[in-house]
Amino acid sequence: MSATARRSRLPMILSVILAFYVLVLYGPVVLLPVFSFNDNIYAVFPLTQFTTKWYHQLTDNEAMLSALWASIKIAAASAVIATILGFLVAKAMTRYRVPAKNFFYAVFMLPLILPTIIKGASLLSFFRQYLDIPLSLWTIGAAHVTVTIPFAMLILIARLESFDRSLEEASADLGMNAWETAWRITLPLAMPGLIASLLLCFIVSFDEFMLAFFLSGSQPTLPIYMFGLLRFPESMPMMLALGSCILFFSIIAVTITEMLRLKRSEALL
């Protein structure tokens, strides 16, 4: 098969199938913003009238705002910590001969594989029965750092592998010490990966429900608050409006990250 034939256009039928798949993938979440502007307490067709009143209801809702603030604090802190820890691991994995590499890799991936309910139950027993510390935003934050480390590590390994390590060696040969090399070569080149890792870890923590459900004290996080909203049919529109806002910011953040990850390292030099 020649190169030109390979680059040929997608057959009509396949484009339709792909478009259908994407529609199925996005279908349910796209309905959130659609009904969040609909002037009806139930999410039913046909749409009645355009309204922004559910969004207004959100902005003067004290409980929601404090849950939002709690989620932002936890997500920001765990994103920063997980990215630092993940960066150190990625540095070791890509620049040194790590002894028992597969073992360490498996350990760092474990938080991703273990079922969330087991993690939640274990951490709850650990904090309450063993350490006997009260549940708070701190306990949720500690759990979120654990589950975001694998994401930070994977993103940063991919980033550190994507640029030539001879740049770092050249810097060492030109007389810089390890810290100067890290500061002037490795960090700037890894920057898109670091930003991607910060954003994605933030999203993962911000959206995390199950661990927060087990480990929250009196102050709920946003997903916990939303789970509560789902129980009452009359608060459904507010939940739709809130969900649409989260959706909007997540999609922007993920699009930025994906573009950063696709961007080539040469562009920075």
Partner 1 sequence: MTSARVLARSGGRRTRLARLSDILPPQWQRSDAFISLLLMAPAFLFIAVMLFASVSTLVLVSFRELTDPGMPVVYTLNNYLALFAPEGDIYRALLLRSLWIPLLTTVAVILVAYPFAYVLAFHVHRYKAVWLILVTIPFWISYFLRVASWKVILGENGVVNSFLAWLGVIDHPLEFLLYNRGAVIIVLTHSWLVFAILPIYVSLEKIDRSFLEAAKDLGDDAIQVFLRVTLPLSLPGVFSSAILIFVRAAGDYVTPSLFGGISGTMIGNLIVSLFTAEDNAPMAAAVSVFLMLALVIVVCAVALLYWLWKKWRASL
The C-alpha atoms of residue 240 and residue 144 are separated, in whole angstroms, by: 25
What is the closest distance, in whole angstroms, from the C-beta atom of residue 65 to partner 1 in the complex?
A: 19
When binding is defined by CB under 8 A, the residue of 14, 133, 170, 187 that contacts partner 1 is 14
Contact between residue 17 and residue 3 where contact means Cβ atoms under 8 Å apart: no
What is the closest distance, in whole angstroms, from the C-beta atom of residue 209 to partner 1 in the complex?
A: 4
Contact between residue 239 and residue 229 where contact means Cβ atoms under 8 Å apart: yes
Nearest CA among 251, 224, 215 for reference residue 139: 215
DSSP reduced 3-state for 38: strand
When binding is defined by CB under 8 A, the residue of 60, 96, 266, 267 that contacts partner 1 is 96
When binding is defined by CB under 8 A, the residue of 65, 80, 126, 136 that contacts partner 1 is 126
Residues 200-239 that bind partner 1 (CB under 8 A): 200, 203-204, 206-207, 209-210, 213-214, 223, 226-227, 230, 233, 236, 239
Which x/- pattern, by CB under 8 A, does the window 29-68 give for partner 1? x-xx--x------xxxxx----------------------
Residues 165-194 that bind partner 1 (CB under 8 A): 177, 180
**CB neighbour burial string for 110-129, b if at least 16 within 10 angstroms, e if fewer:** ebeeeebeebbeebbeebee
